[in-house]
Structure 1
Amino acid sequence: MTKTTNTGSQSKHQPGVLENLRPLIVDVALPLGSYYFFKGAFGMSTFAALAWSSVVPAVRTVWSVARERRVNGLAALILVVNVVGLALSFVSGDPRLMLAKDGAVSSTVGVGILVSVALGRPMMTAGLKPFLVKGDAGREAAWERLVSGTAVRSAEFLRKERLFSVIWGLVLLTECVARVVGAYTIPVATMVWLSSLLLVVAISLGMVVCGGAAAEPMACLITDEVKRQEAARERREQELAVAV
């Protein structure tokens, strides 16, 4: 009887890495990738590329509201960013203003992330989860227990989860401020290439800081929860064996 039960529990569907990454691919990578594809491969204008790349997040947002009665955070954020970009695409004439307006994307994303933390639904979690659970059913279950508040160290895990999003939000807002300040204080010719460098530095800094302050501790907490659950299961099996 015991063997049959264990086999049944182990036969549950174990999500793969691609399955875990699906929300991030559909909501973020696909819209952003399509924007650069339309603009580069087809030579579309910024307005047209933004408009076409907004189709997927728009459909996802409407679908989640109509079918699931909730807002898809990542899809909605990307949609807002695209709408802001569409609006700003009409701004022209002043080269410094054109450079400064690019920071609006970073600021919109940063504000959106911080608002999601304030609402108790950290937006960056969707992108972080696949890299921590690694498609493993045991780690997936441990994650769910930790975020639900039922695990021993849930409070610590939830603090790190919020911290991860807060850091990204602040990094993007800082990058926006640096871009705007640079647009009006640094020669335009220099700022043209420096603006791209600022984004690369911001992303790199975010990855390093978030990794040490939040992601790595969260991974350790998941591992600890997996071991705790395995130990509890072994105790139950031993007690059952003794009882039989």
Structure 2
Amino acid sequence: MTKTTGTQGRSEKQNPSALDNFKPLIVDVAAPLGSYYLFRDALGMSTFAALAWSSVVPAVRTGWGLVKERRTNALAGLILVVNVVSLLLSFVSGDPRLMLAKDSGISSTIAIGILVSVALGKPMMTAGMKPFLVKGDAAKEAAWQRLTSGAAADSAAFRSKERAFSVVWGVALLAECVVRVVGAYTVPVDTMVWLGSVIMVVAMAAAFMVSGALAAGPMERMLAAEVKAGAETAVGQPALAVAA
């Protein structure tokens, strides 16, 4: 019985569920953003209250990273900063068009943060993409490390695609912000209330498709090739040792 349980446990670690793969993005981005709209639109809270309560998750994540893990969580920290700034802006006039435009500020701040992270050589979206590609597999994890460290033949191409993935998301979110701000001041308010959500969904869908085709797909193939190369090298090493 114990042996079977151990085997199942290892199997679950090597083959995590889709939820495990997307957990970083769900916790750092989807949870605070989703809770904001839930508190504001579904539960009828004020913008200030909704922002305050939706700040709990990123605040806890950021604090945990600093105190326990001794590192910062970029996405969680960025969401926290956005919420704090939005809380301050909530004291501004209650003009409905201004409120609609202000909602897009979250996307723009995240977009700018992502693009800056690429410029600094630490693409922010990698945290959400890596679990999806590695899937908890030790061989893929080792291959990822070789590719990102420069030790593999395809390292340069792999890191270029890694940056491209974040750039696509940064540009998509920034474009979504611009479109929503323009719409907030040109489209009737009642129309923009639902149209804003449509614009956001379209931008997200486009980012998924483009980033997958330009970056995630090629990275997955390079990762598989590096896993194969690593396995072949490991098999050849004992033979070389015997010959020596």
TM range (shorter): 0.7 to 0.9
Name the SS for the 1:239 alignment partner.
helix
The whole-number CA distance in structure 2 between the counterparts of 1:96 and 1:49 is: 19
Q: Superposed, which structure 2 residues align to 1:126-165 within 5 Å?
A: 126-165=127-166
Corresponding residue number in structure 2 for 1:62: 63
The whole-number CA distance in structure 2 between the counterparts of 1:155 and 1:226 is: 17
- TM-score norm. by structure 1 comes to 0.84
Corresponding residue number in structure 2 for 1:95: 96
Contact 1:122/1:161 (<8 A) preserved: yes
The whole-number CA distance in structure 2 between the counterparts of 1:19 and 1:192 is: 33
The whole-number CA distance in structure 2 between the counterparts of 1:152 and 1:208 is: 27
Identity %, equivalent residues: 64
Contact 1:84/1:105 (<8 A) preserved: no
The whole-number CA distance in structure 2 between the counterparts of 1:184 and 1:38 is: 25
Corresponding residue number in structure 2 for 1:16: 16
The whole-number CA distance in structure 2 between the counterparts of 1:132 and 1:34 is: 27
* Higher mean C-alpha displacement, 153-162 vs 191-200: 191-200
Instruction: Go from structure 1 to structure 2 and tell me whether the alpha carbon gap of 1:188 and 1:33 turns closer, same or farther (over 3 Å shift).
Output: closer
How far off its partner does 1:75 sit?
A: 1.0
Q: Superposed, which structure 2 residues align to 1:204-223 within 5 Å?
A: 204-223=205-224
The whole-number CA distance in structure 2 between the counterparts of 1:228 and 1:82 is: 45
How far off its partner does 1:213 sit?
A: 0.8
Question: RMSD across aligned C-alpha pairs, in angstroms?
Answer: 2.5
How far off its partner does 1:20 sit?
A: 5.2
Contact 1:164/1:214 (<8 A) preserved: yes
Q: What is the letter of the counterpart of residue 141 of structure 1?
A: A
Q: CA deviation digits over 1:177-218, x for unaligned, max 9?
A: 111112222222322222111111111111111111111111
Contact 1:91/1:98 (<8 A) preserved: no
Q: Unmatched 5+ residue regions in structure 2?
A: 1-9
Contact 2:78/2:110 (<8 A) preserved: yes
Corresponding residue number in structure 1 for 2:78: 77
Corresponding position: 1:115 with 2:119? no
Instruction: Go from structure 1 to structure 2 and tell me whether the alpha carbon gap of 1:130 and 1:47 turns closer, same or farther (over 3 Å shift).
Output: same
Q: What is the letter of the counterpart of residue 194 of structure 1?
A: L
How far off its partner does 1:68 sit?
A: 4.2
Contact 1:21/1:130 (<8 A) preserved: yes
Name the SS for the 1:47 alignment partner.
helix
* Higher mean C-alpha displacement, 220-229 vs 146-155: 146-155
Corresponding residue number in structure 2 for 1:5: none
Corresponding residue number in structure 1 for 2:186: 185
- TM-score norm. by structure 2 comes to 0.84
The whole-number CA distance in structure 2 between the counterparts of 1:194 and 1:69 is: 42
Q: How many residues align?
A: 233
Instruction: Go from structure 1 to structure 2 and tell me whether the alpha carbon gap of 1:24 and 1:188 turns closer, same or farther (over 3 Å shift).
Output: closer
Q: CA deviation digits over 1:20-71, x for unaligned, max 9?
A: 5443343233333443444466543332222122122113223323444432
Instruction: Go from structure 1 to structure 2 and tell me whether the alpha carbon gap of 1:207 and 1:22 turns closer, same or farther (over 3 Å shift).
Output: closer
Q: What is the letter of the counterpart of residue 30 of structure 1?
A: A
The whole-number CA distance in structure 2 between the counterparts of 1:220 and 1:183 is: 42
Contact 2:14/2:135 (<8 A) preserved: no
